[in-house]
Structure 1
Amino acid sequence: MATDTPAAKSRSRDPEATQKRILQAAKKEFSIKGFGGARIDEVADRAKSNKRMIYHYFGNKEELFQKVIEDAYLDIRTAEKKLNLEQLPPREAIEKLVRFTWEYYLKNPEFLTLVNSENLHRAKHLKNSQVIREAHSNMVSMVGDILDRGAQEGIFRADVDPVQLNITIAAVGYYYLTNRFTGSIIYDRDLMDPAALEARLQFNIDTVLRSLRPD
């Protein structure tokens, strides 16, 4: 367990850096062991801090995990905003969103494990998170605007629910990657081979775009 060494005391004088280090350590611990298996002692060791500082800044394990899962969702929402999808033609915007989501999952596997852990606990840490509700509401509105533009141009159906589309875009990548080990055995192919990953991405893009075509 980490102790109050002179170095630790020195680091604690920079609250922002200390909190950031604790959150990075907590993200690692929770993504590996889930909420149930993670231990505050391990977070303290990873952060080169101590439990007293963790409790001081984040209250308890429940609140620390809530902050970690909130940050995980906000990170992907923030990255999506930087795509400037509202400035792209509708079809290009949706394709870019599908591609981004897939690549984000590949680059941030801890996001998937954190979401898995929160679902095991029935989203009890997100239920009262207003910041997450607002972030996702903005995302749904943006996708809705893209769909409306596409419908006006006659390239998308007019009855597509943006929430259903967001779920589908997340699902076609999420399931593949969270089941990559069992899937590789069941289907007798390496699902993480670069060629397989690219083929899956193209399949995802084609699947989503076909679902939006007008009748």
Structure 2
Amino acid sequence: MSARRTANPAAESPRIRDADRTRQIILDAATHEFAALGLGGARMDRIAERAGVDKRLIYYYFNNKDDLFLAVLERAYAAIRRAEQAQHLEALNPADAVRKLVEFTWRYYLEHPEFLCLLNSENLHQAEHLKRSSQVRDIHSPFVQWLADILKRGQEMGVFRKGVDPIQLYISIASIAYFYLSNKYTLSEIFGRDLMSPEALDERLAHMIEVILGYLRP
């Protein structure tokens, strides 16, 4: 009678790592495709070609294009929240924390235009993918609590006014950055300015900080 075989984690871990690496390569390729062409224009053939994998492998890991798009969205939201956490804003005084959050949001949008494109595409589909997500609210809940704690500290110190909703505040921060960048071509043409010049971008950031902190003052 032969000895019973036992699982060997050391032997299995390379396969697990390889599978995870393949998933990330597919998600990278899919992010590029969805950001460039939206959900409707994206093609699984092109994603497979860019990722350098057989198309059947995409279906194996992600089932279909809609599930792949949801996975891309979830990863994108998780990435921005992780990047925010890495700023350690909780260690700053409340005013500096909010100022740095505005700066971070602005810089992140500038450095990750694909994030805004993915949001545009999902909003065109009325968030039908995010409604199926089991992760996205959990990803954002700690952030909302963190911002609420900063607002509370600021109120207790007398530097912020009372009654500020952290969700409304964050929507305002995101929106004044998002609108400027998502409409940069039309706004530049209408007003005869290069709104993406370094000087214009710095001016916009200073304006955003002044608007948000001005709103928070007692």
TM over 0.5: yes
List gaps (5 residues or longer) in structure 2: 1-16
Structure 2 counterpart of 1:15, from 10, 13, 19: 19
Structure 2 counterpart of 1:140, from 144, 149, 152: 144
Q: Residue 65 of structure 2 aligns with which residue?
A: 61
1:114-158 per-residue CA deviation (whole Å, 9 max, x = no partner) reads 000000000111112131101111111100000000000000011
The 10-residue stretch of structure 1 (134-143 or 104-113) with the greater mean CA deviation from structure 2: 134-143
Structure 2 counterpart of 1:35, from 34, 39, 49: 39
**How much has 1:19 moved relative to structure 2?**
1.1
List gaps (5 residues or longer) in structure 1: 1-12
**How much has 1:31 moved relative to structure 2?**
0.3
SS in 2 for 1:97: helix
Q: Residue 75 of structure 2 aligns with which residue?
A: 71
| Root-mean-square deviation (Å) | 1.0
Q: Is residue 123 of structure 2 the alignment partner of residue 119 of structure 1?
A: yes
TM-score (norm 2): 0.91
Q: Residue 90 of structure 2 aligns with which residue?
A: 86
Structure 2 counterpart of 1:51, from 55, 75, 84: 55
Q: Which has the larger radius of gyration?
A: 2
1:2-46 per-residue CA deviation (whole Å, 9 max, x = no partner) reads xxxxxxxxxxx9322211111100000000000011000010010
Query: How many pairs are equivalent?
Result: 202
1:158-203 per-residue CA deviation (whole Å, 9 max, x = no partner) reads 1100000000010010000000000100111001000000000000
TM-score (norm 1): 0.92
Q: Residue 206 of structure 1 aligns with which residue?
A: 210
Q: Percent identity?
A: 53
Structure 1 counterpart of 2:171, from 162, 167, 174: 167
